Structure 1
Amino acid sequence: MITETYQSQPPATSRLVHRVAVGTSFFLQGLCFSSWAARIPTVQQRLHLTDTELGGVLLAVPVGLLLSLPLSGWLVARYGSRRLTVLGLSIYATVLTLLGLAETTTQLMAGLVFFGLAANMSNISVNTQAVGVEALYSKSIMASFHGIWSLAGFIGAAIGTLMIGYGAPILVHFALITAAVALGILLMRPYLLPTDAGHDPNQPVFVLPDKSLLLLGILAFCSLLGEGTMFDWSGVYFNKVVHASTAWAGVGFTAFMSTMAAGRFVADWFTDRFGRQRTLQLSGLFTAAGLMLAVLLPSLVPATIGFMLVGVGVSSVVPLVYGAAGRSTVMSPGMALAAVSTVGFAGFLLGPPLIGFVAGATNLRVSFAIIALMGLCVTALASRARV
């Protein structure tokens, strides 16, 4: 049992210190990604990319994820999530600055491949740390970690808006974020969990997930498809479909991030009260309803409310799915999270290119309507998942 692995740890002070360190790791990861997401419209304008071309460029990120798929879970199982958290976040932040140097589409795509690789590595390692910290408590706390990630996304978006407003070059913006992440890594590294639950250095590289883990991965995929869409296309949607003024172009993303972060900080309480399956079912309905509201009534107030509903909808799904994967009896937590999060994170990264391709063939409203169907899939699959 995971809990038994940590019985030797001091009960109160130690677990709080570990929780703060792991929470910091989630914050740094979210800050890296949201900083990039906030400047995507700027990159599109600087390189003169159409929506379809932007979709093709963003496809480079899931390529990096797929390249890291066979190794990330094994590296965590082999060397421990502590080392991989530090390494993954370091690479993630370094590549962020390199993206600011890209002057051609080819250079940008090459950087995004490594950005996706580092994203997957850090994602699996920090969630493995979270599973271990949650085992020190007698209640669910996974959602709060993801809430910190969302809070970092909100702050990263706010910083990005500020940088754009002052005309700061992308390179300067990204270099400042990289420096902040480096400082955060130095501060939190000594307090990460030194040993993972179920640590097995002889874990094989390739382990097929069972049906229960595969279903969890599909649930995460459907939800993260919508989440990735919100990160990369909310600003473009408000610009081109809602026709918001420059001052209001970022309000959709801000509304989404606000409710997603707030939802994750109350998700543990809500889940304990109403149950995991019901929470997942409601989450899917909120996502679908919010996206369709923005599609059917593409004006400032309804679209903003719709994006707020989407934030509520996606807030609980990934924490519930990752928590269930971490309790798997089939694999070690690191390998189980690798299997589930890789499938799920593929949705997060494939969503933005999909939006670009569909928008190029039709329009953005059709693209967002298709993503709304993924919310209904979450509701339909929730009753079959073992969470």
Structure 2
Amino acid sequence: MFFMTGLCFASWASRIATIQQKLALTDAALGGVLFALPVGLMLSLPFSGWAVTKFGSKTLLTIALIMYGVFLIGLGSVTQPYQLILCLVLFGFAGNATNISVNTQAVATEKVYKKPIMASFHGLWSLAGFAGAAIGTLMIGQNILPAAHFMFIATLTLITVIICRQYLHNDNSTGDTGPAFVIPDRSLVGLGIIAFCSMICEGAMFDWSVIYFKKIVLAEKAWVAAGYTAFMSTMATGRFIADWFAHKFGLKRTLQLSGTLTTIGLLIAVLFPVLPAAIGGFMLVGFGVSSVVPMIYSAAAKSKTMQPGAAIAAVSTISFAGFLIGPPVIGFLAGAFTLRVSFIFIALMGASVVVLVSRAKLD
């Protein structure tokens, strides 16, 4: 389920440049359109909080992931900017519902294993991003339209849900819904803000890496997705070793190193916009963001004031907002200044992770 969630989003990310060209959108206009994603996120908050309590994360995940694939098809079929905006709202709505429910399932699974495995789940999400980038590159190379590309991904998603649903934790509600939304305490908000800053960096990499390599690095067509691929490769690798690293060196040091690598990688890509240096910089960013979100989610699940599912949903919602808000902000900054300048803003978000983690009470 984590893999297919990542594959749906990565498929959209891999064709943003194609859809931008199809609709003749400027960078600033694209940034405005991308704000539809966080709008969908915000609209889904009360619904997802109510639904995961009323029906359970198993039911919500089943429905939301299927709809995620359906709305992906819509994104590939648009012919007007207003249609793209509407589909992005629905895509963001389904994406947040999927994100909350799949992480709630992961918390329950981690309890069964009785050891940290959250990062590995997110590693599968990252592997899906790598696979989505590879499939997207193949589709672009074969001149396959986004609509056909996305229909293929949606079909795979439906098949996966049908096969895997029986293995999910059956946490369906017995009728006591409780409050639809619970305000997280100060410690959880702090964790959410740390993840928020990191997810701004991650979201920008998804939506703008190909465009950055095309317009700033001036990479040839065969290499425009190289930065995105490098980023996804190291992010996936980092997540599969994050649990071991955090156990050996501690959560705080792990997160401080993560923010530092993110900042350094982005500055390298900005200061040296040539192919080898930019690829190396994006690889560092991948390592940097890899451990932040899964480590923060795992820490949130240990909250003493909220149930694990509610805590992970609260922090997940805050962090996912950064994932969606970051890309449109980059678009506006690129329109007002340059795309290189906008990437300095992302570097500042990486530095913010280091500062916030250093001041937080972790471990």
TM-score, length basis structure 1 = 0.92
Structure-2 residue corresponding to 1:188: 164
Shift of 1:71: 2.3
2:271 pairs, out of 296, 306, 313, with 296
Q: How far did residue 199 of structure 1 move?
A: 9.1
Matches within 5 A, 1:52-71: 52-71=28-47
- Is residue 213 from structure 1 mapped to residue 188 from structure 2 by the alignment? yes
Distance 1:191 1:51, change over 3 A: same
Residues 134-180 of structure 1: per-residue CA shift (max 9 Å, x gap) = 00112100000000000000001100100000000111000000001
Distance across 2 between alignment mates of 1:241 and 1:118:
33
* Shift, 1:72, TM fit: 1.2
Instruction: Measure how far apart 1:385 and its partner are.
Output: 4.2
Q: Does the 8 Å CA contact 2:5/2:65 hold for their aligned counterparts? A: yes
Alignment partner of 1:138 out of 97, 105, 114: 114
**1:72-111 equivalent positions in 2, closer than 5 A:** 72-111=48-87
Q: 1 CA distance for matches of 2:190 and 2:326?
A: 19
Q: CA RMSD in A?
A: 1.3
Instruction: Provide the C-alpha distance between the structure 2 equivalents of 1:334 and 1:354, rounded to a whole number of angstroms.
Output: 30
| Residue 191 (structure 1) shift | 0.5
Q: Could you report, residue by residue, the CA deviation over 1:159-211 in whole angstroms, capped at 9, with x for unpaired residues? A: 01000000001110000000011000011000001128x99933212321100
The reply on whether 1:245 has 2:224 as its aligned counterpart is no
Contact 2:300–2:311 at 8 Å: present in 1 too?
yes
Distance 2:175 2:248 in 1: 35
Secondary structure in structure 1 of the residue aligned to 2:113: coil
Unaligned runs of 5+ in 2: none
Residue aligning to 2:311: 336
Which amino acid is 1:240 matched to?
K
Q: Aligned residue for 2:18?
A: 42
CA distance in 1, matches of 2:47, 2:313: 9
Q: Deviation of residue 101 (structure 1)? A: 1.4
Q: Which aligned pairs between 1:10-25 and structure 2 lie closer than 5 A?
A: 25=1
- Seq. identity, %: 57
Please name the residue that 2:2 is paired with.
26
For 2:256 and 2:227, how far apart are their aligned partners in 1?
Answer: 24
1:331 shift after superposition:
1.9
Q: Is this contact kept in 2: 1:131–1:333, CA < 8 A?
A: yes
Q: Is the 8 A contact 1:128 1:326 kept in 2?
A: no
Name the CA distance, whole Å, in 2 between partners of 1:295 and 1:71. 40
User: Aligned AA for 1:247?
Assistant: A
1:329 Cα offset (Å): 2.5
| TM-score normalised according to structure 2 size | 0.98
Per the alignment, in what secondary structure is the counterpart of residue 313 of structure 1? helix
The 3 A distance-change label for structure 1 pair 255 and 357 is: same
Map 1:116-155; keep pairs closer than 5 Å. Answer: 116-155=92-131
Which amino acid in the other structure matches residue 146 of structure 1? Answer: H
8 Å contact 2:251–2:362 — kept in the other structure?
Answer: no
Distance 2:175 2:113 in 1: 23
Check if 1:259 corresponds to 2:259: no
Quote the offset at 1:338 in angstroms. 2.1
Q: Deviations over 1:78-131 (max 9, x none)?
A: 211100110110110010011111110000100000000000000000000000
The more displaced of 75-84 and 198-207 is 198-207
Unaligned 5+ runs, structure 1: 1-24
The question of 1:162 aligning with 2:138 is answered yes
- Aligned position for 1:372: 347
Change (3 A) 1:199 1:317: farther
